[in-house]
Amino acid sequence: MKPMTAGESAQLRMWTTAQLRAAGMSKHDLARAVGTGALIRARPGRYVSGEAHPDVRIAAALSARLTCVSLLAKRGVFVRDAPTGVHAHVPRTASRTRSPAKGVLHWRPLVMAAPKELCAVSVLDALIHACECLDDVAFVAAVDSALHLGLIGRSELVTLFGAIAPRKRLLRRLVDGRSESGTETIVRLLAIELGFSVEVQKRIDGVGRVDLLLDGWLVVECDSKAHHSSWEEQRADRRRDQELAKRGYATYRALAEDILFHLERVAAALRGYREGGRAQAARA
């Protein structure tokens, strides 16, 4: 699995007073660290890094750990809907813990021991918890993203899908870590629902890899402003589309904003391409 970066670790660090004292900090050192902002006292006996995200401070104040969409988003995993409030995990023995304002407490036992120095559960446990908060498409997109980023391995999918609700376990067959973005996963699942045969990250001679190839002739690229905003990038895209056309492929560039907020537009476009392809085949 991909190790956590120093920046990610700093955002999620947490210590108890006993851990800090065992590491050699005196009461004076601890007070000075709090005074300079190097440490933040989240609650009596619990401290987080001065670089900690506000969500981490809230979780630490509850003697909880960040999980679900809150943790996934901070590890770079695609989460279709922005987290609302803080999603935190507490053990079932902490029955008196109150839910954070506009947040969610998750009680399901962890399948992996949470590192003592982090105010966070494992990515695997966060995905298990996220299955309770995300719809099916968003959940598969999050799993695809975690696989693609190397935050979980394929061997862990057995544990993941064995820990979620039985009715959701069939989603396992839809997971594909080759998807390079959450928007790509969403369009892939839409295309499957519409009855297309779908190839992921298909390599085409003279062109390179394309996001999706539907029914062997329709190339779908899932574009975002971040990677297609400059004229140089747009020119490269158009020349790439020309090469595809020369080889007999049609290209549909679905906008990220439509995929995320107006998926019906993408569905209508795919249906139109399919009907056009059928009409052309009939004429031939």
Residue 1, pLDDT above cutoff 70 = no
Sorting pLDDT into bands at 50, 70 and 90, what band is 283? low
pLDDT in tens, 118-168: 889 999 999 999 999 999 999 999 999 999 999 999 999 999 999 999 999
Q: What pLDDT band is residue 279 in, cutting at 50, 70 and 90?
A: low
Would you kindly state where each structural domain of the chain is located, as residue ranges? Answer: 6-163, 182-283
CA 275 to each of CA 65, 216, 247, 270: distance values in angstroms, whole numbers, following the listed order:
50, 15, 21, 9
Second CATH level (architecture) for the domain 182-283: 3-Layer(aba) Sandwich (3.40)
Find, among 109, 99, 175, 103, the residue nearest to 137 by Cα: 175
Helices 136-149, 123-130: crossing angle, 10 deg rounding: 170
What's the confidence (pLDDT) of residue 154? Answer: 93
Residue 70, burial from CB neighbour count under 10 angstroms (0-12, 13-18, 19+): buried
Query: What's the pLDDT band for 13 if we cut at 50, 70, 90?
Result: confident
pLDDT over threshold 80, residue 220:
yes
Q: The whole model's pTM is what?
A: 0.87
Q: Does residue 278 carry a pLDDT above 90? A: no
With a cut of 90, say whether residue 245 has pLDDT above it: yes
**pLDDT level of residue 37 (50, 70, 90 thresholds):** very high
Fill in the amino acid letter for 130: A
* Res 155: pLDDT: 93
pLDDT at site 227: 55
Q: CA-to-CA distance for 134 and 145, rounded, in angstroms?
A: 14
Pairwise CA distance, residues 277 & 258, whole Å: 23
Q: Has residue 178 got a pLDDT over 70?
A: yes
Q: Under a CB-based contact definition with an 8 Å cutoff, are residues 250 and 219 in contact? A: yes
* pLDDT confidence bin for 76, thresholds 50/70/90: very high
How do 14-16 and 198-204 pair as beta strands?
unpaired
pLDDT in the model for residue 71: 94
Does residue 284 carry a pLDDT above 70? no
Helix axes of 263-283 and 182-193: crossing angle, nearest 10 degrees: 50
Q: Would the pLDDT of 226 be above 60?
A: no
**Beta strand pairing status for 198-204 and 104-106?**
unpaired
pLDDT score at 234:
78
pLDDT at 50 over 90: no
Measured distance CA(42)–CA(23) in Å, rounded: 19
| 102-123 pLDDT, tens digit each | 688 898 899 998 877 888 999 9
pLDDT given for residue 73 in this prediction: 92
pLDDT of residue 269: 97
Looking at the predicted structure, is the pLDDT value of residue 42 above 80?
yes
